[in-house]
């Protein structure tokens, strides 16, 4: 017989990582997993949208901006229709003010220039998840 679960159980936050660079995805995934997060990977914006439309509800989204097909700005705009209050961090090698403004208008919560060290990434993720990490509980019987 399995042991009874406690009345509340802490769940590791889930982060959706969207980047067309396999190297960048692996680097980000490794940093996040080492920090204790669950990670879901999408190779481009279209794949991320399929996951979201299929019911994935991550606690945070990290997305590259420059990708083929559905780019990061398009993903952010569409994701905001599904994930109204979920933090979305835009990752890019481009730091131009105009692109940042477009990202903010699309619904990006924050902007991180890559390549970024694991510490900067984890620090930013922790900042946003500190307010949104959830505790799951079975509720009343």
Predicted confidence (pLDDT) at residue 8 exceeds the cutoff of 70:
no
The pLDDT of residue 75: 97
Which pair of tokens denotes residue 104? 């903010």
Predicted confidence (pLDDT) at residue 87 exceeds the cutoff of 90:
yes
pLDDT digits (tens, 9 = 90+) for 32-68: 999 999 999 999 999 999 999 999 999 999 999 989 9
pLDDT digits (tens, 9 = 90+) for 107-139: 999 988 877 778 889 999 999 998 444 333 333
DSSP 66-124: S-SSS-HHHHHHHHHHH-SSS-EEEEES---HHHHHHHHHHT-SEEEESS--HHHHHHH
Give the Cα separation of 17 and 32 in Å (integer). Answer: 10
Tell me how crowded residue 40 is: count the other CB atoms within 10 A of its CB. Answer: 15
pLDDT band for position 95 (cuts 50, 70, 90): low
pLDDT band for position 100 (cuts 50, 70, 90): confident
Q: What is the mean pLDDT of the chain?
A: 84
The pLDDT of residue 40: 98
Task: Give Cβ neighbours of residue 137 (< 8 Å, ≥ 6 apart).
Answer: 7, 8, 9
Task: Give Cβ neighbours of residue 56 (< 8 Å, ≥ 6 apart).
Answer: 14, 16, 40
Domain range list for the chain:
12-131
User: Is residue 56 helix, strand or coil?
Assistant: coil
Architecture of domain 12-131: 3-Layer(aba) Sandwich (3.40)
Give the Cα separation of 17 and 4 in Å (integer). Answer: 34
pTM (2 d.p.): 0.83
């Amino acid at each position: 017989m399995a042991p009874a679960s406690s009345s509340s159980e802490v769940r590791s936050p889930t982060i959706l990582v969207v980047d067309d660079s396999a190297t960048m995805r692996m680097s980000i995934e490794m940093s996040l997993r080492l920090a204790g997060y669950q990670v879901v990977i999408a190779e481009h914006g279209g794949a991320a949208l399929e996951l979201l439309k299929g019911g994935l509800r991550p606690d945070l989204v990290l997305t590259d901006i420059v990708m083929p097909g559905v780019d990061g700005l398009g993903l952010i705009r569409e994701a905001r229709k599904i994930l109204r209050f979920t933090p979305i961090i835009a990752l890019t090698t481009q730091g131009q003010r105009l692109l940042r403004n477009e990202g903010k208008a699309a619904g990006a919560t924050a902007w991180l220039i890559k390549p970024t060290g694991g510490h900067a990434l984890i620090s930013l993720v922790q900042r946003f998840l500190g307010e949104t990490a959830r505790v799951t509980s079975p509720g009343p019987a």
